[in-house]
């Protein structure tokens, strides 16, 4: 029997999203006095990667560095 775990993390730090290799990312926006989902999907989707890089400290460079590091690990 296989155990399934779900962990929901709410953060304003997109570095946590990348470092934890999140499967589903929800990019939020504040509009008309409410918080709404702006974009949602996995890090493999270009629009999600762009949103993360726009918010993330270090931007695209930090995102690429993270993925180069994990792709070299065996």
Task: List pLDDT tens digits, range 3-37.
Answer: 776 677 777 776 777 777 678 888 888 899 998 99
pTM score of the predicted model: 0.63
Q: Which residues pair with 41 in a beta bridge?
A: 25
pLDDT digits 0-9 by tens, 29-66:
889 999 899 999 988 888 988 888 887 777 788 777 77
How buried is residue 12: exposed, middle or buried, by Cβ count under 10 Å (0-12/13-18/19+)? exposed
């Amino acid at each position: 029997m296989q155990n399934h775990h779900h962990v929901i993390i709410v953060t304003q730090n997109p570095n946590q999203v990348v470092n934890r290799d999140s499967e589903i990312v929800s990019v939020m926006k504040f509009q008309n006095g409410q918080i709404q989902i702006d974009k949602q999907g996995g890090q493999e989707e270009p629009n999600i990667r762009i949103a993360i890089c726009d918010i993330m400290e270090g931007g695209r460079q930090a995102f690429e560095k993270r993925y180069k590091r994990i792709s070299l690990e065996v």
